[in-house]
């Protein structure tokens, strides 16, 4: 067993897992980390002991707990963000590049400027990089966000009427497929099963494992099934209410899901 620390890097939405070291940190502590010779501010989300082979560690080093100076420096850099975005937008407009600048953030030591942008097409940003490097005199990292990441940055409400899952708690985007729609017996209406990003709803993944395991135990809808020595046709299933509907000629039978699986 060894200590695993989950952290969230400042101005990033994903979580990272790093090995504990000879430094005492607790939940919500601000720390300074090092990634490829660049330092960033981060927050400790949690820490716990795990088997050595159960966690994939990032190449991140915890340097120290953040000092008052580190926090002041980060606030100053955050205040520069909008001015940087305005500068980048002016260059983008001059170069007539079809891209939307979402965020621009310096690393804690100001050795790197990370700019996130969205575009439906590939962008030749070589000239943009030269202009940015000349203005800011530091390393520039341009990252093209995906449709899902773009929606997360913009925020908004989902079809359920609640804030988008990706903007409030989702850390990673799992693959969502049409197979999940079919397994959950949902109507194939794209306006109902797609989110603000234009991709399939992330929430289709939440119960996918349950439906997949259920499908392995049940016959296909429309197939014959024998119950109490009588042959029925498997008509429908409601996994939420845990009931199934079978039919024999004009006789329709509603059963608990557990009874059929037991059969």
Give me the residues paired with residue 236 across strands.
Answer: 245
Q: Are residues 6 and 54 in the same domain?
A: yes
Looking at the 3D structure of the chain, how many domains does it have? Answer: 4
Q: Are residues 80 and 134 in the same domain?
A: yes
Three-state secondary structure readout of 212-252: HHHHHHCCCCCCEEEECCEEEEEEEEECCCCEEEEEECCEE
Classify 88 as helix, strand or coil: helix
By the 8 A CB rule, do 156 and 189 touch?
Answer: no
State the greatest distance between any 2 C-alpha atoms of the chain, in Å, as a whole number.
82
Q: Are residues 61 and 97 in the same domain?
A: no
By the 8 A CB rule, do 47 and 6 touch?
Answer: yes
pLDDT in tens, the chain (263 residues): 778 888 999 988 788 888 877 778 889 999 999 998 999 999 999 888 777 666 676 788 899 999 999 999 999 999 999 999 999 999 999 999 999 999 999 999 999 999 999 998 888 888 999 999 999 999 999 999 888 888 888 888 888 888 998 888 887 788 898 988 888 878 888 888 998 888 999 999 988 888 888 877 777 778 888 877 788 888 888 877 888 888 888 888 888 877 766 54
**Domain span holding position 75:** 71-145
Q: Evaluate if pTM is beyond 0.85.
A: no
């Amino acid at each position: 067993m060894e200590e695993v620390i989950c952290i969230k890097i400042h101005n990033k939405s994903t979580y990272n897992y790093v090995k504990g070291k000879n430094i005492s940190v607790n939940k919500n502590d601000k720390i300074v980390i090092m990634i490829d010779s660049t330092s960033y501010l981060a927050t400790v989300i949690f820490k716990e002991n795990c088997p050595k082979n159960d966690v994939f560690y990032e190449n991140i080093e915890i340097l120290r707990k953040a000092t008052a100076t580190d926090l002041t420096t980060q606030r100053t850099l955050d205040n520069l963000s909008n001015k940087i975005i305005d500068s980048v937008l002016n260059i983008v407009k001059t170069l007539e590049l079809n891209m939307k600048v979402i965020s621009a953030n310096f690393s804690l030591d100001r050795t790197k400027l990370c700019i996130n942008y969205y575009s439906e097409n590939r962008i030749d940003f070589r000239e943009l990089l030269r202009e940015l490097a000349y203005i800011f005199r530091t390393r520039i990292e341009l990252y093209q966000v995906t449709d899902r990441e773009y929606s997360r940055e913009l925020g908004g409400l989902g079809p359920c009427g609640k804030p988008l899952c990706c903007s409030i708690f989702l850390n990673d985007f799992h693959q969502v497929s049409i197979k999940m729609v079919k397994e959950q017996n949902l109507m194939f209406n794209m306006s109902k099963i797609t989110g603000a990003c234009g991709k399939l709803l992330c929430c289709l993944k939440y119960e996918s494992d349950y439906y997949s395991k259920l499908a392995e135990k049940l016959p296909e809808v429309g197939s014959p099934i024998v119950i109490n020595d009588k042959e029925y046709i498997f008509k429908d299933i409601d996994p939420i209410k845990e009931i199934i509907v079978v039919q024999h000629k004009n006789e329709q039978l509603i059963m608990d899901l557990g009874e059929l699986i037991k059969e």
